[in-house]
Chains A and B, each alone.
Chain A
Amino acid sequence: MATVFKRTEMLVDVPQHYCPGCTHGIAHRLVAESLDELGVGGRSVGVAPVGCAVFAYNYFNCDMHEAAHGRAPAVATGIKRVLPDNIVFTYQGDGDLASIGTAEIVHAAARNENITVIFINNAIYGMTGGQMAPTTLPNQVTTTSPYGRDASHCGMPLKISEMLSTLDGTYYIERAALNTVKNIKNAKKAVKKAFQNQVENKGFSLVELLSTCPTNWGMTPIEALKWVDDNMIPYYPLGVYKDRGEGELK
């Protein structure tokens, strides 16, 4: 029987701990395929976050670091400055990157560190059980915003791609989503480009991936995919926010 689809070399053959319907698995696959296709797996070093992807170091088939909460861009900076010819990436969620780690991501971007950042935005803290994230939408119910996020009380969500694209240092910023086949295909292109940029020494590249959290959103996986379309994409529009290779966009 002919094989039409197989595990990529850059993923370790172990069961992942993610919940049914969670799109982390897809994001992992896109990263792994990109490393594979670019032929850089053997010189890649990844940095895992604190959050649902905390065990990512067991899944990617390359050297990995586990970082403290929010510090992955600083850790990646340290690695890249020692190993400038290696491919260094961070894989971070929204609590990690957009809350406790804002200083680290902003300054890594401002320095135009030649690293690749995969930013998973699912508008919630997954690992700790569904608390409000900096990316939680206005009126969204979480375990720490039980009446819905009240913007007059705790402010508005952070739009990371828009924010970082204003920095002169950043090279490439794109937001994609993992909720439809079409969006996933675009996401793959973005992820691969973000790594290609690093291979070509272009500089700081970040891809924000709108993801689902059916468990903490209290939805079925299919409802969650639709919720991304109906609620997240209108607030977090998809597209390329910065590409210094193409001049300023948007």
Chain B
Amino acid sequence: MAKQLMKGNEAIAEAAIQAGCRHFFGYPITPQNQIPEYMSRRMPQVSGCFLQAESEIAAINMVYGAAGAGARVMTSSSSPGIALKQEGISYIAGARLPAVIVNIVRGGPGLGGIQPAQSDYFQSTRGGGHGDYRTLVLAPASVQEAVELTQEAFDLADIYRIPVIVLGDGMIGQMMEPVEFGKYKKREVPDKEWASTGTEGKRKPNIINSLFIDPDDLEKENIKLMNTYEEIAKNETRAEITNAEDCEILIVAYGTTARIVKNVIKIGEKNGVKIGLIRPITLWPFPSETIAKYASQSSVNSVFSVELSTGQMVDDVKIAVNGVKPVYFYGRTGGVVPLPEEIYENVIKKTGGAK
């Protein structure tokens, strides 16, 4: 298929359609509006269902119902809207249902702003709602990757029966880049024997449920979830490594920030400082082992977490590095996006540059 120039938001929506998503429930919020808008145009063309819900809470609960009924289903929102959806996401996790939730992150807290941010890292990687659960979090750094990860999100959700978050930011959502569909190879997914589609009098009722009033039963359920999460961590942890072999400064950054850091690497090259980058593609599970491995190289004098936040992922980087090397943070927040030169200067200031 030929390359098309598409906005990230529209590309994500089209990717979902191509992944077989035929049900979308949404609610307007900037900067993700092109997703529901695209869905409202496209779904009728593929005999699918787009429905604008009365609230984000209703939308995620429609997702819960549709997922329980066995559909490939998606919703999208931006930070304050995702906060509202956390109730439903927790239920979806508890009832072990597959669903895809797109968060095109904007600055917070509160109503915050509408410019790009990465301040929902904690919310996304720590479950977000109440209870003992995780969501698989995919963080694309380009429109093309957003397409492929959105398609894969549906497979991952089906394979592990969990909610999967596609975490972009305003930049990923709004920017246009060339994209090619049809590059993603569909993974094998199990049948949905658990779905509530009517017994037809042939089987016992399927019950979609997250209520386990007996503590022993709930503990068993939570351990089942934990086992699933361990399996995901083993099989699905992913990161992109750039220039990290024998680097002096190791930067960890995800999403669009990682792209800016790629320019920082070039500035380093001009100045004789070897900077490496690890870009987590899965934020949960977090690529701790990869980071630990590269951080422990004797060439590395310090590790940096660079984020569009006041410092969230840096906690995970510290856990990964485990005191072996000093870990620093640099970030801008509230929708401010740092330029490569600014990041470079701050990294050098903190580390004293090359050894």
Contacts and interface: CB of A to CB of B under 8 A. Distances in A.
The answer to A–B direct touch (Cβ < 8 A) is yes
B55 A103 contact: yes
Nearest to B71: A82
Q: Is the interface of A mostly helix, strand, loop or mixed?
A: helix
B267 interface: no
Contact of B198 (A63, A80, A81): A63
Contact of A66 (B49, B67, B207): B207
B54 interface: yes
B208 A104 contact: no
B208 A78 contact: no
B170 to A, nearest CB: 28
A20 interface: no
B61 A79 contact: no
Interface stretch (B87-95, B103-111, B120-128, B254-262): B87-95
Contact of B209 (A66, A78, A106): A66
A227 interface: no
Nearest to B49: A81
A80 B196 CA distance: 11
Interface-centre pick from B61, B69, B199, B211 (highest chain A CB count, 10 A): B61
A165 to B, nearest CB: 19
B197 A104 contact: no
Contacts of A43: 198, 200
B29 interface: no
Residue among B66, B68, B200 with most chain A CB within 10 A? B68
Contacts of B251: none
B198 A42 contact: yes
Contacts of A76: 65
Interface stretch (A54-62, A168-176, A180-188): A54-62
Contacts of B70: 82
Given A42-B198, A68-B91, A63 B206 contact: yes
Interface string B190-221: 00000011111110011111110000000000
A75 to B, nearest CB: 4
Contacts of A12: 205
Given A75-B61, A81-B23, A65 B198 contact: no
A86 interface: yes
A64 B58 contact: no
B62 A77 contact: yes
Contacts of B295: none
A118 B87 CA distance: 24
B65 A65 contact: yes
A83 B199 CA distance: 13
13 contacts: A43-B198, A61-B199, A62-B205, A64-B208, A66-B207, A66-B208, A66-B210, A74-B65, A79-B68, A82-B23, A82-B70, A82-B73, A86-B197
